[in-house]
Amino acid sequence: MWIAEIFLRLLLALEFGWWAFLRSPLAAYRKAQYWRDWIMAKVDYVQSESAKWRAAFTMAKMPYTILRSFGLSPQLAASLLIGGSVVGTGVVAAEVLEGSSFARGDPGIYTAPLDTPVFAAQEYNTLRLDLGATSVGLVEIDSISLGTAYTGSALPSGESNVIIIGGLPTVVDPAFTETYLEVGTMYVDRWRCETLAITNSEIHNLIISGNASDGQSIAAVAGVPRNRGINGGNRADDMLTSGGYYDQLKITSASSGVNGQIDVLRLTNIYSKGGGCVIDRVKAGTMEITLNETGGDSDLATKAFTVATSVIYKSFTNTDNVEVSMAVPAIQ
């Protein structure tokens, strides 16, 4: 409202100012001085208010900044603040577990068909899905950052991979029987990895297209893997999440001798740094590996993207994959 008032007074001043100047130059100058001071007072007021609002917003975000400096993930820091206060270490796991959700992108260990984690804690920032006897129609994860790709992040202690997808070998535990992850259709789309390795898998229809890598070795072998889709009757609800910062993404068949089952697994727009991306022990009807960027040592002699001879296919499409020298992914 006061801005409109300024323009109105300027127009009036322009209309009468010339004639006032001709009648009395000194009076005209004093009048102009009055309007100048009035306008400058309004400008000073606006600048003062703007500085106060900037200071208020800076103070408002300080608790979030402090929590991030302690190593908490962005989503965990936000959830703690939204919850009302920072809690004591004795009740952190219970409170985080109570309010966590796969759909909201909270880190933790999830088992289908549950949307809430079976484990969550302040220091645990992995998004992990353990699959067993209950099949899932759709698992979709998109637009996440992993590993050391964001400020203050780190891989879990003792880990060297940022993405682990598939079954588990017997060597993990002598009492553990090897498992596979069975998938109707799997999409590996727009990943950024330092390395991407696909091993020990059976794929009826393998599509590798439009990928750029800092050296590549695609050596899949022809065979007769069957086509497959996952039914399961009253299976788990779809599990979808979008956005988030994690130290690791892990989707595995974690129950000894029980293959996990997902009809459609879509993993897209994933940015990672600090470790490798691994797809191992997957049995798929169709696997599409498209538009990914893999590399980080700027050396085409080392193979950043590998499809091992332990990968067996029935039908194979291999198009528009190029080798490009790449630097290490930047921190976001």
Concatenate the DSSP letters of all residues of 152-200 into one string.
Answer: T--PPTT--EEEEEE---GGG-TTPPP--EEEEEEEEEEEEES-EEEES
Asked if residue 16 has pLDDT above 70, the reply is no
How does residue 235 score in pLDDT terms, banded at 50, 70 and 90? confident
With bands split at pLDDT 50, 70 and 90, how would you rate the model's confidence at 86?
Answer: very low
Task: Write down the mean pLDDT value for the chain.
Answer: 82
Spatial contact of 20 and 27, defined as CB atoms under 8 Å apart:
yes
Average pLDDT over residues 28-45: 69
d(CA 265, CA 62): 38
- What pLDDT was estimated at residue 188? 98
Write out the DSSP string of 201-217: EEEEEEEEES-EESSEE
**What pLDDT does residue 253 have?**
94
The 3-state DSSP class for residue 136 equals strand
Q: Is the pLDDT of residue 292 over 60?
A: yes
The predicted-structure confidence for 174-185, as pLDDT tens digits, reads as follows 788 999 999 999
Q: Is the pLDDT of residue 222 over 60?
A: yes
Q: What is the CA radius of gyration of the chain?
A: 29
pLDDT value for 237 = 78
219 within 8 A of 308, measured Cβ to Cβ = yes
Q: Tell me what percent of the residues of the chain surpass a pLDDT of 70.
A: 73
The proportion of the chain whose per-residue pLDDT surpasses 90, expressed as a percent, equals 53
